[in-house]
Structure 1
C-alpha cells in the first residue's frame, strides 16, 4: 500500500568506534536517531540543534553541521506514512545523556537492526556500505 502521508524530520549521525548513537523515547519500542520534527519557522539545522540539545544535552553548532544523507523509509508506528529524514554529521559539545522524553540511548551497529526503526536500519546499511560501521 502506498503511503498517503509524508513526514519530514532531521537526524544526527554520531559515530564512535564504528557504532551509531541512537535513542529510544518513553513508550516506544524502537531506537531512532537523535533529532526529530522541524517546527514552523525553523531551518533543518536549527531543528536538529534544538532537538539534540533537548534530548541529549549536546550543543551542536549549526555552521558545523554537514548534510550526510536523505533517508526515505516507512515511519515507525504510523500507518500509511513515509518518513523523509535529513541526516547531518557534526561535532557536539558535551557527553550525551538521555533527557526529557528520552528513556534510553545506545550505540548500535549492523547487528542491532532488530532493535531499530526502519529509517535507522537504512542509515546503518548506508554507513556500512561506506565502510563506517561495524
Structure 2
C-alpha cells in the first residue's frame, strides 16, 4: 500500500506569465515551491512558510488563493502519493526578487504552453496544474 504525504505548494508567475518551478537538492524533478505542513499549521501557513524558506519571499497566508487540492504520484519519493493543496500567489514576481534557499538546487521559469517539451516535471504539475492553466 502506498503512503500519502500531505504537502502545500504555491504557483508564482513572472510578468511574462511563466510559472516558477524549483528542483530541490538531490532530486531530478521540477515542482512548485512548497513542502510538508508542520504540526498545527494550515495548508496556507505551510505554503507561506515554504515560500520564505525556499525562495526568500514573504507572502502572508491569507494572501494566497486556493487553486485546488489533488492527490497524485509523489515526484521524488517511491511508493508514495501526495495530497497537494495548491495555491496561487498574488500578482507577478520579478525573477531577480527570488533568492533560492539551501535546499533548492535550481530555479526555472516555465512557460506553461511549452511544458510538454520537458520530461523533468513533477506529476502534480503535468497532471493537474498545467492542464488547468491551459484550459
TM class by smaller structure: 0.7 to 0.9
Distance (whole Å) between structure 2 residues aligned to residue 62 and residue 51 of structure 1 = 11
**Alignment pair present for 1:111 and 2:116:** yes
TM-score norm. by structure 1 comes to 0.85
How many residue pairs end up in the alignment? 127
CA contact (8 A) 1:113 1:121 kept: no
Alpha-carbon distance change, 112 to 21 in structure 1, aligned in 2, over 3 angstroms: farther
Distance (whole Å) between structure 2 residues aligned to residue 5 and residue 118 of structure 1 = 16
Q: Choose between structure 1 and 2: higher strand proportion.
A: 1
Query: Does the residue aligned with 1:127 lie in a helix, a strand or coil?
Result: helix
Once the two structures are overlaid, the 10-residue window that deviates more, 9-18 or 31-40, is 9-18
CA RMSD of aligned residues (A): 1.8
Moved over 4 A (4+): none
Of 117, 124, 128, the residue aligned with 2:130 is 124
CA contact (8 A) 2:73 2:124 kept: yes
Query: Does the residue aligned with 2:39 lie in a helix, a strand or coil?
Result: coil
Structure 1, gaps ≥5 residues long: 130-134
CA contact (8 A) 2:10 2:34 kept: yes
Structure 2, gaps ≥5 residues long: none
State the match for 2:9 in structure 1.
11
TM-score norm. by structure 2 comes to 0.85
